[in-house]
Chain A
Amino acid sequence: MSVAPPTVGTMADAVVARGLVKRYGDVTAVAGVDLEVPQGTVLALLGPNGAGKTTTVRMLTTLLVPDSGTATVAGVDVVADPREVRRRIGLSGQYAAVDENLTGFENLDMVGRLYHLGRRRSRERAHELLEQFRLTDAANRVAKTYSGGMRRRLDLAGALVANPPVLFLDEPTTGLDPRSRNDMWELLSSMVGQGTTLLLTTQYLEEAERLADDIIVIDHGRVIARGTADELKTQVGGQRVEVVLASDREVRETERVLREQFRGDVVVQQRARRVTASVSGGTTDLVEALSRLSAAGIVPLDAGLRRPTMDDVFLTLTGRPAEEVVGETGDDKDDATTKREAHA
């Protein structure tokens, strides 16, 4: 194990990691990650599937022992004293770890007992959480009958049983439909307001932006950018005008028109016949671009103002699109599960 740099973060950092490395054979899943999460704040680890987000979280939550590097959570070293760390954290993984043959109440009661809250307190806490997560009506149904959103809420409730000061959530909304995702965001925002320190991983910039104070972008096991959502968006170039065309000729023509208007950052996706340009003037720029295209006799199939996506972040930061290991968007839970099994 390598020697940690002398800086170990300040007392106010709930999570500190220095030079975390994890290898699987020839593959380096995490290649020296440094991070710190000040108490009471939210850090988002943003990156595509396979970037090393989950491995990082597994090391910080004592599920994996790092090959090198050090980390402390709530002031406790994760390698030296894993059980003390476990007392102070809650973890909700990527694959809602609820026992589907137990009821919602039984799931939470069991977790409370295993946190050694005692029989009475475990029961009370289970009921409190079911109430808080709007699961009271389903409390005595087996979790098998729950919807995806309900399972996630139950899993998250499980992570909160012992009121841990530090919470780790691995892709809390992956695989959820938009409505459940919104529900989850509201729940998380209200929790964070109450002073919990949160480290979450996500594939969605929107999610990171909505919940996190700081964002770390991670790719191939390395931190490639860090900052607030605003800082990252500035790096990415804020908003974009995106135009989709009917023919290759129009694509070339549009590229020329947009380069003239915006001077520089114009990206052409040939197969999609899509031309994108970074803009700073919002809708004014869009209107201007459309009138220029119209003047050049071009009628786009689709045109609009786009907010930066994670793909844009990656394109800007790495000069290539985010490498999706699974599917188009990588947010299909079943696909992700299949992939995990294939690796097992």
Chain B
Amino acid sequence: MSSIGMVLADSSVIAKRNIIKIRRIPDLLVGTLISPIMFILLFAYVFGGSISVPGVDYKEFLVPGIFAQTVIFGATITGSGLADDMQKGIIDRFRSLPMAQSAVLVGRTASDVITNILVVIIMASTGLVVGWRIRSSFLDAVVGFVLLLLFAYAVSWIMALLGLLVRTPEAFNNLTFITIFPITFVADTFAPTQNFPAVLRTVAEWNPVSSLVRAAREQFGNVPPGYPAGSWPLQNPVLYTFIWIAAILLVFVPLATRQYKRAAAR
């Protein structure tokens, strides 16, 4: 078997295993699917009345933000799954097999994409129920969804590195909870950055989560053409987001791979 063929074949075996697991652990599925629905409902009906976005219906503004936050959380399954596998000795079993060793990480991150596709479908349906609409062309919308999934895929590799570093799923979950909330809130996600204090506003405008959300809104046609852009990243959100995706993958794929080899060899 050629080495690329072997990586793909082994990765699909690993991905299949992870998908089976998600089906078998209901709380994982519930956590991943219910929390975004809850977020959409809470923000739309509790905060929605108090947050005003000039020229835009808040629900239209909100739903792409929830998409971004949720797919980023979806990417954390890679980290907790790897930490769990380390703890239970399953990585040792994989390491003793003549398989492509990169398949453990490639398969793991790929299965997060599959869960995220499922999550996006559920969220989009909930969004449609509360009044969110795609007002652009089909192709534009597809680009929006692909961008969300690609960004989450890149984040999976950061999570892979973190999961391998902390080595227990509990520690990993605490770590991601306290980091992902600020990163996704200090952004153009749930409230417009215009009202942020100056320093926070600058941080938010350069935060790739902002550009991701802005790109998604534009691709879905959720903001009107003349919507205030702000700094360069928000003027070119698709490009800026792609640069981040590429940069994260370039840095974290090798780092996570190296950490996998190290962590397994202890």
Contacts and interface: CB of A to CB of B under 8 A. Distances in A.
Interface of A: 61-65, 83-84, 86-87, 89-91, 93-102, 106, 110-111, 113-116, 142, 158, 341, 344
B86 to A, nearest CB: 8
- Closest 8 A-B residue pairs measured CB to CB? A97-B89, A97-B93, A91-B96, A86-B98, A114-B99, A95-B89, A87-B98, A101-B21
A115 B96 CA distance: 10
B30 interface: no
A97 B97 contact: no
Contact of B96 (A62, A99, A116): A62
Interface of B: 1, 6, 9-10, 13, 16-17, 20-21, 24-25, 87-90, 92-99, 167-168, 264-266
Nearest to B101: A83
9 contacts: A62-B95, A87-B98, A89-B96, A91-B92, A93-B92, A102-B20, A111-B93, A113-B9, A116-B1
A102 B21 contact: yes
A255 B20 CA distance: 65
Contacts of A101: 20-21, 24-25
Contacts of A341: 87, 168
A99 B95 contact: no
A110 B107 CA distance: 13
B88 A95 contact: yes
Contacts of B98: 83-84, 86-87, 114-116
A27 to B, nearest CB: 13
For the complex, would chain B's binding face be called helix, strand, loop or mixed by DSSP majority? helix
B218 to A, nearest CB: 40
Contact of A64 (B25, B87, B97, B265): B265
B21 A115 contact: no
Contacts of A89: 96
Contacts of A114: 10, 13, 94, 97-99
A74 to B, nearest CB: 13
B83 to A, nearest CB: 11
A142 B97 CA distance: 22
Given A86-B97, A91-B96, A111-B93, A97 B88 contact: yes
Given A65-B265, A106-B20, A111 B25 contact: no
Contacts of A61: 96
Nearest to B263: A344
Contact of A97 (B1, B6, B13, B90): B90
Nearest to B23: A101
Contacts of A83: 98
Contacts of A64: 265-266
Nearest to A158: B93
A272 B222 CA distance: 80
Nearest to B25: A101
A115 B265 contact: no
Contacts of A115: 97-99
A110 B264 contact: no
Nearest to A64: B265
A113 B13 contact: yes
A341 B167 CA distance: 9
B265 A86 contact: no
Nearest to B96: A91
B92 A63 contact: yes
A143 B242 CA distance: 42
Contacts of B89: 93-97
A85 to B, nearest CB: 9
Contact of B17 (A94, A95, A100, A102): A102
A97 B9 CA distance: 22
A35 B220 CA distance: 67
Nearest to A161: B97
A344 B166 CA distance: 9
A98 to B, nearest CB: 8
Given A65-B265, A83-B98, A115-B98, A93 B17 contact: no
A115 B25 CA distance: 27
B139 to A, nearest CB: 37
Contacts of B265: 63-65
Contacts of B88: 95, 97, 99-100
A59 B144 CA distance: 48
Nearest to B90: A97
Contacts of B264: 63
Given A64-B265, A97-B89, A116-B6, A86 B20 contact: no
A114 B15 CA distance: 12
A138 B137 CA distance: 52
B95 A111 contact: no
A253 B264 CA distance: 56
A335 B75 CA distance: 33
B97 A99 contact: no
Nearest to B95: A63
A65 B264 CA distance: 11
A78 to B, nearest CB: 12
Contact of A86 (B13, B90, B96, B266): B96
A63 B98 CA distance: 12
Interface centre among A87, A90, A101, A341 (most CB of B within 10 A): A101
Contacts of A344: 167-168, 266
Contacts of A110: 13, 16-17
A341 B170 CA distance: 13
Nearest to A112: B13
A64 B89 CA distance: 14
